[in-house]
Amino acid sequence: MTPWLARSVYRLQEAALGRATFPYLAELERSQWLSRPELEALQARKLNRLLQKALAHSPWHAARVRNAGLADQAAAGAVALADLARLPTMDKADARRHVEELVWRGVPGGAFRYNTGGSSGEPLIFYYGRDRQASDAAGRMRARRWWGVEAGEREAYLWGAPVELSKTDRVKTLRDRLVNQLVLNAFAMSSARMDEYLSALAAWQPSCLYGYASSVALLAAHAEARGIKPALRRLKVVCTTGEPLYPHQRELIGRVFGVPVANEFGSRDIGFTAHEAPGGVLLLTSESHILEVLDSAGLPVPLGASGEAVVTGLTSLAQPFIRYRTGDVVRLAPAQDSGGRGLHAIAEVSGRQTDFVVREDGALMHALAVIYVLRAVEGVEQFKCIQHSALLMEVLVVPGPAWSDAARAAVVAGLGARLGTRVEVAVREVADIPPEASGKHRYVVSHVQLAAELRQAAA
């Protein structure tokens, strides 16, 4: 498909689904050039709209807003950004426990059930609407344009999805090709499969390669070990997501693919949040999010210091996330974007690291392959997967009220389907899951050694 035709197909799809993606993209293209005070005035207007909808449709938030003495101000559209700190923060446990008091099922366009990737070890079922979807898609398209990639140009995704365990989803594959997207499965990266991926990329000639940071680094390490220099003449940028991008991975990917590497920050519950721009800083989608950086006591850290990212999603109307503790550690940049945009800048993100796991046949799978199984089982409050060998996976589960023998069986069956029928899946119920000796939490840990040439890329 030509870029114009692919973009037209995508525009028609979004309009048919009731998503204002392209109108919102046009807004974002204008608003990124606002001054910082103008941009924060826009945030305040959207915050008041969010609080008004929460007061009317989300009883749990409504009680919090009233208890903070903000109800009258919100009704009058007079809440300032500084007033947001009067509300207590919320976390994933709050969102899980109070979902029925949070969701607005009558939101225009409908509320759609979704779940988080579980990379925090605490899966979450939540709801989102068309506004959030449009914000995510438009924000990502704007970020691509910073790197010279227009909507409709060919893109390749090194990604994972549950459909790879069943027959090929022909409808989705056709849709991907109609909008010029090629999806390569990050959940099955054997040596032979990675050879196929490199050939597929050479044939596809994408303008952008997008994928999990460690998966893209693994493919780059495989290419280098094979002595393959991918001849991707149209490639303009490699965009990574889903986990921290370490300096050695950035250098490796850039060396092998010969283009800049740009990292993305976001999550399923909060959505597309920030993307790296030329110049090296991550720019917040300030029109869709308010970002606070707080210390352990819940107080703002000095500019340039690290703290927890606490996010208010300004387009999350179906299930508002207001002052939501993400668990990610970030550091705001003291300087603005060198390109002149007024968007807030993030200097560094320290997200959650995940391992690769090894299937019984030796193929490598991104850790999300097993996380997808755990997040879909009701009754799993927290989890940790420990791969002791290619034939033994231990699963620690902190059970919730819905945990049952059927849930245990679903975990065993699901992981067996992913890892291989000969793999023993040992599920162990525990009261809590302590952090590693380093103090960090790792929710998928594999003790299976990778080949030497791939080990550093995946580390």
pLDDT reported for residue 376 = 83
At residue 164, does pLDDT exceed 50?
A: no
For residue 70, how many other CB atoms are within 10 A of its CB?
A: 20
pLDDT reported for residue 369 = 82
Q: Would you report the helix, strand and coil content of the chain in percent, each value rounded to 5?
A: 40, 25, 40
Q: Is the dihedral of CA 63, 68, 69, 75 positive or negative?
A: negative
- Domain assignment present for 450: yes
Q: Are 308 and 294 in contact (CB under 8 A)?
A: yes
- Domain assignment present for 386: yes
Give the model's confidence band at 166: pLDDT under 50 very low, under 70 low, under 90 confident, else very high.
Answer: very low
CATH of the domain at 369: 3.30.300.30
Both tokens of residue 361? Answer: 């046949």
Task: Determine which of 115-124, 176-185, 273-282, 287-296 has the lowest per-residue pLDDT on average.
Answer: 115-124
pLDDT reported for residue 371 = 82
Q: Give the pairing type, strands 444-446 and 380-389.
A: parallel
Give the three-class secondary structure for 140.
Answer: helix
- Domain assignment present for 437: yes
- Say how far apart CA 290 and CA 340 lie, in whole Å: 20
Q: Among candidates 205, 255, 201, which has minimal Cα distance to 225?
A: 255
Give the three-class secondary structure for 137.
Answer: helix
Each residue of 201-228: b (16+ CB within 10 Å) or e?
A: beebebbbbbbbbbbbbbbbbbbbeeeb
- Of residues 160 and 184, which shows the higher confidence score? 184
**Neighbouring-strand partners of residue 310:** 292, 325
Range 317-331 average pLDDT: 92
- Domain assignment present for 48: no
At residue 162, does pLDDT exceed 80?
A: no
- Domain assignment present for 324: no
Range 302-321 average pLDDT: 93
Give the model's confidence band at 185: pLDDT under 50 very low, under 70 low, under 90 confident, else very high.
Answer: confident
Both tokens of residue 99? Answer: 């979902």
Q: Give the pairing type, strands 181-185 and 237-241.
A: unpaired
- Say how far apart CA 147 and CA 167 lie, in whole Å: 35
Give the model's confidence band at 443: pLDDT under 50 very low, under 70 low, under 90 confident, else very high.
Answer: confident
At residue 320, does pLDDT exceed 60?
A: yes
Q: pLDDT tens digits for 91-142? A: 988 998 999 999 999 999 999 998 765 555 566 889 999 999 999 999 999 9
- Of residues 454 and 31, which shows the higher confidence score? 31
Q: What percent of the chain has pLDDT over 90?
A: 61
Q: How many domains does the chain have?
A: 1
Structural domain span for residue 451: 356-458
Q: pLDDT tens digits for 418-439? A: 899 899 999 999 988 876 654 4
- Domain assignment present for 385: yes
- Domain assignment present for 214: no
- Domain assignment present for 23: no
Map tokens 């109609």 to a residue: 178
Q: What is the DSSP string of 328-342?
A: EEEEE-SS--TTS--
Each residue of 330-368: b (16+ CB within 10 Å) or e?
A: bbbbeebbeeebbbbbbbebebbbbbbbbbeeebbbbbb
Q: pLDDT tens digits for 352-374? A: 656 678 888 888 887 778 888 88
At residue 446, does pLDDT exceed 50?
A: yes
Q: What is the average pLDDT score of the chain?
A: 88
Q: Are 135 and 318 in contact (CB under 8 A)?
A: no
At residue 186, does pLDDT exceed 90?
A: no
Q: What is the DSSP string of 19-52?
A: --HHHHHHHHHHHTTS-HHHHHHHHHHHHHHHHH
